[in-house]
A = this chain, B = another copy of it.
Amino acid sequence: MAGSSFGKSFRVTTFGESHGAALGAIVDGVPAGISLSEEDIQKYLDRRRPGTSTVTTSRNESDKCRIYSGVFGGLTTGTPVMVMIENTSQRSQDYDELAITYRPGHADFGYDSKYGFRDYRGGGRSSGRETIGRVIAGAIAIKALDMLGIKVQAFTQSIGNVYAQSLNLDECSENAVYMPDKDAAVRAIELIKEAKSDKDSLGGIIGCIATGVMPGLGEPVFDKLDARLSAAIMSIGAIKGVEFGAGFHVSTMTGSQNNDPFYIDEDDEGLHIRKRTNMSGGILGGISDGSPIIINAAVKPTPSIAKEQDTVNAINEEVKLEIKGRHDPVVVPRAVVVVESMVAITLFDMVLENMKSRMDNVLKIYKK
């Protein structure tokens, strides 16, 4: 398989290039009976849309989605759901000079090495617009997870050296950088403006929390929940690192610090096994442990910068490059919904996979 599909039971296949006719996704394995409309998907697509604030590119992509299959009478039918956005705002002439030039920090050279040539308009398949298909599938997964009481929320942890100091998730949608800390958001926006006027760009960290996750998700060995989540998140273009719970800090902890003690909690529904801390980030031995799943992902600074750079072209010449066109000085805020989508897709896929783990479950479905 050539890599455009993700998931085993809830299987997403995306298509489309930045300046091609359209971008979208087929989601196969959507269980029948989930209420789904174009609005359900559009609201997530709008979150990744540029042109909505001063901190993103001024490209105005309307990005209206349409459901082409798999929904009947407002419900998913169990057959593949295809959702697509037709491309409208295409100023490909901006990109013509990039036909043979390899942009530093981009996949251009890799694509040419791999395929012999490439669709160079706006990054083609390696464009950030490729994430449209992910958000489409993510919106469907989020609807399904919601029926199970599982919530996924990603947010901007940091931009450059400005870190959120509080974790007020409701605040995220109130500021342009999707930060859960109002004051940090103000400082981050200031920093972005500076970078922009320097013809430069910034990176950051995206956090993600999933609550309501039942224990037992994840498959032993290679399809561990964290292994699948890592693959999901690292497959987003700009991500260079991913960690769970205490993450890289575990390297300097002792076992007695890092082990989360279990205890018995009691509420109206009875006794529950819980953990006093959550160094594990909700995953132990690759299986969810019933605590919130905690993820961090490092986002690199946008490689498309207006500043002059040294590079080469496809005919082995060294050249200077100033990237024109409308580019985000930081992609972190727009990537938040993409991380959220990939986490949701992975979680719902593992929910479906896990159904088959016990013969008890099989009997529960089939025995009258």
Pick from A40-48, A100-108, A165-173 the stretch touching chain B: A100-108
Q: Which of B119, B246, B310 is within 8 Å of A79, CB to CB?
A: B119
Q: How far is the CA of A336 from the CA of B115 in the complex (A)?
A: 34
Q: How far is the CA of A261 from the CA of B363 in the complex (A)?
A: 31
A303 vs chain B, min Cβ distance (A): 5
Q: In chain A between 10 and 59, which residues have their CB closer than 8 angstroms to a CB of chain B?
A: 11-17, 20-24, 26, 28-34
Answer yes or no: A286 CB below 8 A from chain B CBs: yes
Q: Which of B102, B231, B253 is within 8 Å of A228, CB to CB?
A: B231
Known A14-B221, A106-B284; judge A318-B263 contact (CB<8 A).
Answer: yes
B116 touches A215 (CB 8 A): no
A216 vs chain B, min Cβ distance (A): 4
B109 touches A298 (CB 8 A): no
B28 touches A262 (CB 8 A): no
**Residues of chain B contacted by A73 (CB below 8 angstroms):** 117
Task: Look across to chain B and name the residue whose beta carbon is closest to the beta carbon of A29.
Answer: B2
A215 touches B248 (CB 8 A): no
Answer yes or no: A292 CB below 8 A from chain B CBs: no
A310 touches B242 (CB 8 A): no
Q: Mark A187-217, 1 if CB is under 8 A from B, else 0.
A: 0000000010010111111000000001111
**Residues of chain B contacted by A324 (CB below 8 angstroms):** none
Q: In chain A between 287 and 305, which residues have their CB closer than 8 angstroms to a CB of chain B?
A: 287-290, 298-305
A164 vs chain B, min Cβ distance (A): 12
B31 touches A248 (CB 8 A): no
Known A118-B77, A357-B78; judge A72-B301 contact (CB<8 A).
Answer: no
B23 touches A69 (CB 8 A): yes
Indicate the member of A73, A200, A222, A232 with the most B CB atoms within 10 Å.
A222
B235 touches A361 (CB 8 A): no
Given contacts A5-B28, A224-B235, A241-B248, 7 further A-B contacts (CB under 8 A): A72-B124, A110-B218, A115-B357, A230-B242, A241-B247, A254-B301, A255-B302
